[in-house]
Structure 1
Amino acid sequence: MMRSDIFHENNGVRNAGRLHDGYVRPAAVAGAFYPADRTQLKQLINTQLDYGRALLKQLEPQLPAGIPKAVIVPHAGYVYSGTTAALAYALLERGRGVVKRAVIVGPTHRVPVRGVACSNAAAFETPLGVVPVDVGAERRAWGSLIVNDPTHAQEHAVEVQVPFLQTIFGPELTIVPLNAGDAAPEEVGDALRALWGGPETVIIISSDLSHYHPEAYARQLDDETISDIAHVRLPIHPRRACGAYPINGLLDVLTRGLKPTRRETIRETSSGEQERSDKSPIEPFDLRLLGRSTSGDDGVVALAGNSRPAMNDPDEPVVGYASFAVWQTEDGDDNPHEENAADETRTAVGKADVKASSHSAGNQTMPEDRRTVLLSLARAAIREHLGLDDAPEHTPEAIVNRNPWLNEPGASFVTLTERGQLRGCIGTLEAYRSLGRDVVEHAIDAAVHDPRFFPVSREEYPLLDVEVSVLGKPAPMPVRSRTELEQALRPGEDGLILTDRHGRRATFLPQVWEQLPNPYDFVSHLLTKAGITPSYDWKNGEIECERYEVTAYAEQ
């Protein structure tokens, strides 16, 4: 249910915006994510804010003046991520007496939702008191929101931000609590645009980073994600940040500006490419990393530009955190917005830097606009198989007819994920039919014929994320032992095929390196997939090894 259907949720009743007209949403995670006792909670927040203020004194000479318009902050238990969040909230304190409304956008950890959801609550309660919901602001943004109470009932991502906001902004504060589920960046971006407001409004994006990787790897993974956010590289994937959908919405605003995308008109050029007919300038923004940490750092935050503290245990599974701030600068501001890879604190946003998730495909080149075609084709195939209605121009046959290059031979894999978890993956290693037919068949197989999963249902379809990987031709690797193979592999680039003398065969796409960055682990898991002992150590060429490269196009 989206946009025009909003009045039909909860028997068509939406509360009118006064505290006594709606229910008060009680604290769901007090006593778990933060203290349930009012005094203990105030003491903990003040202690963490003091820590954040001390760090801020070191960082302030490098930061713009004025109140940030938006921040990205973590949402784990305060003992783990509170100091990282406090760094951003210490900065937001500049707005006390000016800021009257906080729009808080978090992900959905418990109840999935399609789109951006508000609730029927007239207020949120924490041990520090009751904070009114600005229902009037929600009503003005109804074109971009749905109403879904269950997704808010036990969700912590928004709730944990409220006590900090109560502390720094005082009793005049109102909030707009939102949960962003499966949604395109522009959908979340449009909700933010509708609620952007002026100096009285701040935007709080709630997100942790990687989850439960060994700390040595987690730091590396998080620093890549931090760099992607800092340089506004869309989209951030939910595997990299649990609040990827809210983050992507904010980045969409930074790249597209404040004009709602749904009001833009699109036309095709003579070359078939699409361009916006609306050429209004994008508002200038200044995005800064403030600090970063993990749950294994005992609350110690590494400021932007500084090295991280020594690890207590590099193999300990941890959760990653970071805080960012965004300033909305005035037109004509003369600040030198130049990107500098050595300066992690500054990124100027002047235009979109949106790329498909891509691995080199050797000599195979594919124009960027083919990403949309391949993803649309995979989705159309699944929709048609599930019997979901579609316009005639959106059927697989129509898409192939409009794009003759899909009739050329090609090999592909189609991968489906749901909330960052694998939901199906089927593919072909070598081209033996047209690329279009290959994608259509594998999309259907990934949805309903992957033996590891139950078939995807019609109701589940909107929760899926789709990735299409186009494979280059496999090339033999002249290695005779496991040791030689592991030394020859290029992590992050090589897809690998292993075949033994009994005909057992398996492959991993290059994307698997994200979960298994160590070559030994990569090979061990692939051997297991082939039905071979994972510790098997061959020395005389008993295993045939081939590598290949792919171009991977992902929705999220």
Structure 2
Amino acid sequence: MVHFDIFHENSDVRDSDKRQQGYVRPAAVAGAFYPADRTRLKHLINTQLDYGRALLRQLEPQLPVGVPKAVIVPHAGYMYSGTTAALAYALLERGRGVVKRAVIVGPTHRVAVRGIACSTAIAFATPLGAVPIDVDAERKALELVADEPLRSGIHAHPGAPASAMIVNDPTHAQEHAVEVQIPFLQTVFGPNLTIVPLNAGDASPEEVGDVLRALWGGPETVIIISSDLSHYHPEAYARQLDDETIDNIAHLRLPIHPRRACGAYPINGLLDVLVRGLKTAQCETTRETSDEEEGDSHKPSAEQFDLRLLGRSTSGDDGVVSLAGKSRSDMNDPDEPVVGYASFAVWQNANTGIGDATAQNTNAVNGSDGNTTNRETAQQGKAADNADEVVSGAAMTTDHGRVLLGLARAAIRQHLGLDNKPESAPDIIIKQHPWLNESGASFVTLTEHGQLRGCIGTLEAYRSLGKDVSDHAVDAAAHDPRFFPVSPEEYPLLQVEVSVLGKPMTMPVRSRTKLEQTLQPGKDGLILTDSQGRRATFLPQVWEQLPNPHDFVSHLLAKAGIKPSYDWNNGEIECERYEVTAYAEH
């Protein structure tokens, strides 16, 4: 865990004592643009990510595989633009475990600057914690001489890779465009993320593009471009303007005017990279590479980028996002002044197969109560791609259960630093049991004194069962957004349960009545999905608390954000069932 001395913003943030102790830029818009309460913020983000994941399932067949290299996302209050941003962040979840750095570029709403400004801060704080800044990358982009500190007011040295980059604390002090992206990034990528927060003021597309090229990095880095679209036009007219702007962005028509997008300068910088390519990039990455590796390996030509619109909305749409390729939703009031939003994604080398190792998993689930939370990336589980079989719940034995529980325990001990014995490491356990290399889907549930302490899982197999269980065990202990991480002192109090899921099968039922008549209490896990993409699941274990099929379905509808009393007769709700073999410690 990285610890920082937190300082509140004042007129003397450039003071040398603060630099030495470590200036952390405090949250400026918590409580206004998003909740200041940690629990409320986590709940809101996960709810909006659930919505984004559900939309993404409809969109993914038309999208490239792999992790996007860059996204364009809005930056208004979460209640207005959060769902549109969540669509892009749900897509970026493919990179969890791989992406370690986010370069975030927003506009300057409050303090104008000439150039692209970083700050002297070593971290940005949000209610979810402080996120370290990759200060070394900023120094390299500015081409500072050895040991030269960052001071507000300095400019990049002549000949620096990012010639228009500056250091300016005042423009960051109250700016929201970068800040509102950070809680989403913390949720999607976890605690090991670093950021490079930048405000782009008056600058040419090439100048902003040069900053992006200097910080582009490899697969460990994503680029976040923060921008809304038109501001405060009647919705009927705003949609027309925004669709024109979206079309210009999609066709790389430079420049986008600031009247059409408040983040026009950052957008134009990204478009410059897509048009000009990365041939001038310095390719500074956060991973260790040899001189040979750091050369042209991340310098493709412009035609190797694939830019896609994901979805669009306005502040008058009540959080409803219209997917790319589909018509917009009905307007509540065509004359209402609104702000426009859109999310885009950019893949690098999309036509060359780079990134294909990252599977399109959109089925991970947080908690046995069915709150979707796609936290995984299949890049770490490549072994599953070549598996000839899928381990199903029905095929598991008591011996399998003993191994799975031991594997989950070993992964948690290793994460907590409680076991350094090589022979008991998760990787060794997996090597000792070849069946763990077969593809499988699992849940890991932790309880303490009979109370839920963490639960993370996946509905469909997309990687090796061993990797799935060991990673879910760590995520259940450390990354379930409903709970604080498990401490080493708590470890002896934990009870572990591992559930291995069979493949979900569509149920041929078109009404609620038929569904409730068909369900097998105590045996069936159930997934419900409506036409708006709302989705939730209950494991078969939930039958113990809800033995009546009508109550089981009612509570699951509520978890999906649908009225518990909702009835249907014409297939409005898609129903899938699956079976689970569960192993619990006693």
| TM-score bucket of the superposed structures, by smaller chain | 0.5 to 0.7
Whether the aligned pair in 1 keeps the contact of 2:104 and 2:178 (CA below 8 Å) is yes
Is residue 285 from structure 1 mapped to residue 305 from structure 2 by the alignment? yes
1:95–1:333: structure 2 CA closer, same or farther, 3 Å change rule?
closer
SS of residue paired to 2:103: strand
* Cα distance in 1, alignment partners of residues 205 and 12 from structure 2: 29
Letter in 2 for 1:190: D
The answer for the alignment partner of 2:336 in structure 1 is 316
Letter in 1 for 2:171: T
* Cα distance in 2, alignment partners of residues 51 and 312 from structure 1: 20
SS of residue paired to 1:199: coil
SS of residue paired to 1:233: coil
1:172–1:318: structure 2 CA closer, same or farther, 3 Å change rule?
same
Whether the aligned pair in 2 keeps the contact of 1:190 and 1:261 (CA below 8 Å) is yes
The answer for the alignment partner of 1:127 in structure 2 is 127
Whether the aligned pair in 2 keeps the contact of 1:106 and 1:157 (CA below 8 Å) is yes
Letter in 2 for 1:224: E
Superposition pairs for residues 401-480 of structure 1, below 5 Å? none
Is residue 65 from structure 1 mapped to residue 92 from structure 2 by the alignment? no
* Cα distance in 1, alignment partners of residues 93 and 19 from structure 2: 26
Letter in 1 for 2:258: P
The answer for the alignment partner of 1:152 in structure 2 is 172
Task: State the 1:19 CA deviation.
Answer: 9.4
Task: State the 1:164 CA deviation.
Answer: 0.1
* Cα distance in 1, alignment partners of residues 301 and 32 from structure 2: 46
* Cα distance in 2, alignment partners of residues 193 and 283 from structure 1: 16
1:14–1:235: structure 2 CA closer, same or farther, 3 Å change rule?
farther
Which residue, 170, 174, 179 being the options, matches 2:190?
170
Superposition pairs for residues 365-404 of structure 1, below 5 Å? none
1:36–1:186: structure 2 CA closer, same or farther, 3 Å change rule?
same
1:99–1:313: structure 2 CA closer, same or farther, 3 Å change rule?
same
Write out per-residue CA displacement over residues 351-379 of structure 1, whole angstroms, 9 at most, x where no aligned residue.
xxxxxxxxxxxxxxxxxxxxxxxxxxxxx
Task: State the 1:332 CA deviation.
Answer: 4.9
The answer for the alignment partner of 2:106 in structure 1 is 106
* Cα distance in 1, alignment partners of residues 316 and 83 from structure 2: 13
Task: State the 1:14 CA deviation.
Answer: 11
The answer for the alignment partner of 2:423 in structure 1 is none
The answer for the alignment partner of 1:89 in structure 2 is 89
Whether the aligned pair in 1 keeps the contact of 2:214 and 2:281 (CA below 8 Å) is no
Task: State the 1:329 CA deviation.
Answer: 1.0
Is residue 206 from structure 1 mapped to residue 191 from structure 2 by the alignment? no
Write out per-residue CA displacement over residues 392-425 of structure 1, whole angstroms, 9 at most, x where no aligned residue.
xxxxxxxxxxxxxxxxxxxxxxxxxxxxxxxxxx
1:64–1:20: structure 2 CA closer, same or farther, 3 Å change rule?
farther
The answer for the alignment partner of 2:254 in structure 1 is 234
Letter in 2 for 1:219: R
* Cα distance in 1, alignment partners of residues 30 and 322 from structure 2: 27
1:146–1:39: structure 2 CA closer, same or farther, 3 Å change rule?
same
* Cα distance in 1, alignment partners of residues 70 and 300 from structure 2: 22
Whether the aligned pair in 1 keeps the contact of 2:306 and 2:350 (CA below 8 Å) is no
SS of residue paired to 1:141: helix
* Cα distance in 1, alignment partners of residues 16 and 93 from structure 2: 31
The answer for the alignment partner of 1:369 in structure 2 is none
* Cα distance in 1, alignment partners of residues 37 and 12 from structure 2: 36
The answer for the alignment partner of 2:268 in structure 1 is 248
Letter in 2 for 1:174: T
Letter in 2 for 1:69: K
The answer for the alignment partner of 1:260 in structure 2 is 280
Whether the aligned pair in 2 keeps the contact of 1:84 and 1:321 (CA below 8 Å) is yes
CA-based RMSD of the aligned residues comes to 2.6
Write out per-residue CA displacement over residues 317-376 of structure 1, whole angstroms, 9 at most, x where no aligned residue.
000000000000167569xxxxxxxxxxxxxxxxxxxxxxxxxxxxxxxxxxxxxxxxxx
Letter in 2 for 1:26: P
Identity percentage of aligned residues: 82
* Cα distance in 2, alignment partners of residues 77 and 154 from structure 1: 15
* Cα distance in 2, alignment partners of residues 207 and 166 from structure 1: 19
Is residue 51 from structure 1 mapped to residue 71 from structure 2 by the alignment? no
SS of residue paired to 2:302: coil
1:141–1:106: structure 2 CA closer, same or farther, 3 Å change rule?
same
Whether the aligned pair in 1 keeps the contact of 2:213 and 2:281 (CA below 8 Å) is no
* Cα distance in 1, alignment partners of residues 67 and 27 from structure 2: 28
Is residue 137 from structure 1 mapped to residue 157 from structure 2 by the alignment? no
* Cα distance in 1, alignment partners of residues 14 and 179 from structure 2: 24
Write out per-residue CA displacement over residues 11-62 of structure 1, whole angstroms, 9 at most, x where no aligned residue.
998999x997420000000000000000000000000000000000000000
Letter in 2 for 1:254: L
1:188–1:39: structure 2 CA closer, same or farther, 3 Å change rule?
same
The answer for the alignment partner of 1:74 in structure 2 is 74
* Cα distance in 1, alignment partners of residues 16 and 254 from structure 2: 36
The answer for the alignment partner of 2:391 in structure 1 is none
Write out per-residue CA displacement over residues 288-343 of structure 1, whole angstroms, 9 at most, x where no aligned residue.
00000000000000000011110000000000000000000167569xxxxxxxxx
Runs of 4+ off more than 2 Å: 10-16, 18-22, 259-262, 279-283, 330-334
1:12–1:40: structure 2 CA closer, same or farther, 3 Å change rule?
closer
SS of residue paired to 2:225: strand
1:333–1:46: structure 2 CA closer, same or farther, 3 Å change rule?
closer
Task: State the 1:282 CA deviation.
Answer: 3.3
SS of residue paired to 2:260: coil
The answer for the alignment partner of 2:401 in structure 1 is none
Task: State the 1:259 CA deviation.
Answer: 2.3
Letter in 2 for 1:167: T
Whether the aligned pair in 1 keeps the contact of 2:300 and 2:349 (CA below 8 Å) is no
Write out per-residue CA displacement over residues 252-280 of structure 1, whole angstroms, 9 at most, x where no aligned residue.
00000112399xxxxxxxxxxxxxxxx99
Which residue, 308, 318, 331 being the options, matches 1:298?
318
* Cα distance in 2, alignment partners of residues 231 and 134 from structure 1: 32
* Cα distance in 1, alignment partners of residues 352 and 246 from structure 2: 28
* Cα distance in 2, alignment partners of residues 75 and 181 from structure 1: 16
Gapped regions of structure 1 (runs ≥ 5): 1-9, 263-278, 335-556
Residues paired across the two proteins, number: 309
Write out per-residue CA displacement over residues 88-135 of structure 1, whole angstroms, 9 at most, x where no aligned residue.
000000000000000000000000000100000000000000000000
Gapped regions of structure 2 (runs ≥ 5): 1-10, 143-159, 283-298, 355-586
The answer for the alignment partner of 2:40 in structure 1 is 40
Which residue, 302, 307, 314 being the options, matches 2:327?
307
SS of residue paired to 2:87: helix
Letter in 2 for 1:88: A
TM-score (norm 1): 0.53
